[in-house]
Amino acid sequence: MDCVVTCNHQSNRPLLSVLMPVFNAEAYVGEAIESILGQSFRDFEFIIIDDGSTDNSLSVLKRYAAQDARIRLISRENRGLVATLNEGIALARGEWIARMDADDVALAHRLVSQLTFLQENQLEICGASVQLIGTGRGYWHYPRAHAGCEAELLFGVPFAHPTVIAHARVFKELRYAAAWSLVEDYDLWQRAWAAGFKMGNVPEVLLQYRVHRQQTSSFYRRQQAQNSQQIRSRHWQQLLSIKLGISAIEAHDAERDPWKTLRLLGALKQCYKGTEAEKFLRYSFLRLCSHRFHGWVLNYTS
């Protein structure tokens, strides 16, 4: 790939800040760090925040921090993921901010591929496809273009969270919201879309995403599903208003009426005729009904 990435040499600021929260990731964090330090793109700072780990994660982090000056290591008591991400965003000096998880592995050309894609397509937010490792097998793919991401937000996240690189302005203006814990990324991407930021995904695998056997408790599953449904509803109303001129009241009423939902989805599909988004709306009625029914079951059984 021809690199079109322009480096930032002003005031010794890096072009990119990589942000990685760590909590009890002793078994995997070394591999995650090495995958970032080994990137073909070099103009970055690596902000690592140990969020009060109780295993030996901090010892591993200190060892790597002593070996590479690009690492900025912060260690303090546990405050949770959202607070840790926002702390890292406040510390970031780069024009772009890249997310990384402590148990994943970035391919060596991840950063340069995404930065090139962002610049070539004039985007502010970019993800990529992932390969599942650990207890998972297979691949996850996401919409390439903004319209596809816009449509996918009706159902869930348009990115694999640890693959995201976004302009610092996106993160610093919007931040992660503690009120949307467990779905903080879904909330952020939906608000970023509403704010007019353009998004897309590199259509190739750039990260190995680790899947664990650990089960989310039924309480957290219920909270996650309820929060997701609220964001889904928010996007449904905003998208129908922009694309079809539908009022929030009418869109809300349609959520409780399958036939109205079907009719509005048909009109929405016409807005995306011939685009990538049309593919993501192919089974939109079944996907929306499935999510809504799941939410209803969780509420009924709570």
CA distance 90 to 234: 27
- Among 177, 192, 211, the domain-final residue is 211
What residue numbers bound the domain in which 270 lies?
218-301
Indicate whether 130 belongs to any domain.
yes
pLDDT at residue 299, as a whole number: 66
216 — pLDDT class (breaks 50, 70, 90): low
118 and 228 inside one domain: no
Structure tokens at 223: 């909270």
How far is CA 252 from its chain centroid?
Answer: 26
CATH number at residue 182: 3.90.550.10
Residue 292 pLDDT: 74
- Shared domain check, 263 and 128: no
Query: What mean pLDDT is predicted for residues 66-93?
Result: 98
In a domain, 5, yes or no: no
Confidence (pLDDT) at 11: 57
- 199: exposed, middle or buried (C-beta count within 10 Å: 0-12, 13-18, 19+)? buried
At residue 10 the predicted structure's pLDDT band, cuts being 50, 70 and 90, is very low
Asked if residue 4 belongs to a domain, the reply is no
299 touches 292 (CB < 8 A): no
Per-residue model confidence as pLDDT tens digits over 26-45: 999 999 999 999 999 999 99
215 falls in which pLDDT band (50, 70, 90)?
very low
Both 75 and 100 in one domain: the answer is: yes
Report the range of poorest mean pLDDT among 8-17, 34-43, 134-143. Answer: 8-17
| 175 in the same domain as 78 | yes
Nearest of 148, 134, 261 to residue 209 by alpha carbon: 134
Q: Are residues 269 and 207 in the same domain?
A: no
Cα angle, residue 289 at apex, residues 287 and 293 outer, rounded to 5° = 120
Nearest to 186 by CA among 139, 146, 233, 220: 233
Which of 150, 181, 211 is the last residue in one of the domains?
211
275 with 161, same domain: the answer is: no
Same domain, 278 and 136: no
Mean pLDDT lowest among 86-90, 164-168, 250-254 = 250-254
**Mean pLDDT across 93-99:** 98
- Of 211, 234, 261, which residue constitutes the final position of a domain? 211
Please check whether residue 244 lies inside any domain of the structure.
Answer: yes
Q: How many domains does the chain have?
A: 2
With H, G, I as helix, E, B as strand and everything else as coil, classify residue 21. Answer: strand
Query: Which of 11-20, 84-93, 142-151, 214-223 has the weakest average pLDDT?
Result: 214-223
Q: For residues 128 and 3, which has the higher predicted lDDT (pLDDT)? A: 128
Residue 3 inside a domain? The answer is no
**61-90: average pLDDT:** 98
Would 1 be classed as within a structural domain?
A: no
Name which residue leads in pLDDT, 218 or 110: 110
Whether 132 is covered by a domain: the verdict is yes
Secondary structure (3-state) at 222 = helix
Q: Do 26 and 117 fall into the same domain? A: yes
Claim to verify: residue 104 and residue 166 sit in the same structural domain = yes
Looking at residue 112, its pLDDT comes to 98
Mean pLDDT of 96-124: 98
Average pLDDT over residues 117-142: 97
Q: Report how far apart, in Å, the C-alpha atoms of 51 and of each of 72, 83, 88 are.
A: 14, 9, 11
If you average pLDDT over residues 115-134, what whole number do you get? 98
Same domain, 197 and 139: yes
Contact yes or no for 100/32 (Cβ under 8 A): yes
Q: CA dist 5 to 47, 110, 111, 113, 120, Å?
A: 21, 13, 10, 9, 9
pLDDT of 1: 42
In sequence order, which residues have a C-beta less than 8 Å from that of residue 45 and are 6 or more positions away?
14, 16, 17, 18, 70, 72, 92, 93, 94
Structure tokens belonging to residue 39:
């990137």
Pair (118, 60) in one structural domain: yes
Whether the per-residue pLDDT at 141 is higher than 60: the answer is: yes
Given a cut of 90, whether residue 235 has pLDDT beyond it is yes
Do 147 and 199 belong together in one domain?
yes
Calpha distance 293→168 (Å, rounded) = 37
